[in-house]
Chains A and B, each alone.
Chain A
Amino acid sequence: AQSVSQHNHHVILSEAASLELGCNYSYGGTVNLFWYVQYPGQHLQLLLKYFSGDPLVKGIKGFEAEFIKSKFSFNLRKPSVQWSDTAEYFCAVKKSSGTYKYIFGTGTRLKVLA
């Protein structure tokens, strides 16, 4: 069965530190990839998405992610985090055809210390 793994469950960083959150998926076919953020008490917001083309995707709020097909990975990065980035981050994968369903990873809870 298709699955998505986020290995970092909790991450604590100081402001200005660099961030990298891992996301790996198990499906071998063509996929669409997403990162969502959920701020405390708020709904899911799309950070960025990959459908095709340049594997380095830039999103909102200074986030970027790199799709490495050979590693089945789509890691999220930010060079310098801010206190306001404290939130939960979810990676999601969708088969590029045949379904609209998303499979979500377990999420990574990021806490940024001021």
Chain B
Amino acid sequence: GAVVSQHPSWVICKSGTSVKIECRSLDFQATTMFWYRQFPKQSLMLMATSNEGSKATYEQGVEKDKFLINHASLTLSTLTVTSAHPEDSSFYICSARDQGGTAYEQYFGPGTRLTVT
């Protein structure tokens, strides 16, 4: 089946620093990837849609200058949390759409737990 990986699986950083999270589709090409944020005991909130070769589309209320998204290839999207603060601590999950698939299904990565101290 389609596999999506994320790296790192967890990261601790100091307030004010930037952190990059990678999302890779391992066995399929993904023109579209999605970044979600999940707070403890809450649902997944879509942050942005990452489009290969073009700018990401951000959901209302998500700061595009804070959460930088780059989708430079058909298998890799990155999310950079800039000038991180403790309130950015969360579980970040990416998903990818198989452009060769027939049902517009998304495949989810294992998530990255970010803790900002």
B34 touches A101 (CB 8 A): yes
Judge if A16 is at the interface, Cβ distance under 8 Å: no
B43 touches A104 (CB 8 A): yes
Cβ of A109: which chain B residues have Cβ within 8 Å of it?
Answer: 41
Task: Tally inter-chain residue pairs, CB-CB below 8 A.
Answer: 47
- Of A43-51, A61-69, A70-78, the segment with at least 4 beta carbons within 8 Å of chain B is A43-51
Nearest 9 Cβ contacts at the A-B interface:
A43-B110, A44-B108, A106-B43, A104-B44, A104-B43, A107-B43, A43-B108, A100-B97, A100-B32
Judge if B54 is at the interface, Cβ distance under 8 Å: no
Cβ of A49: which chain B residues have Cβ within 8 Å of it?
Answer: 103, 105
Judge if A80 is at the interface, Cβ distance under 8 Å: no
CB distance from A87 to the nearest CB of B (A): 13
Interface residues of B (CB under 8 A from A): 32, 34, 36, 41-46, 49, 93, 95, 97, 103-106, 108-111
Judge if A32 is at the interface, Cβ distance under 8 Å: yes
Most buried by A among B36, B43, B97, B105: B43
A105 touches B46 (CB 8 A): no
CB distance from A35 to the nearest CB of B (A): 13
CB distance from A11 to the nearest CB of B (A): 14
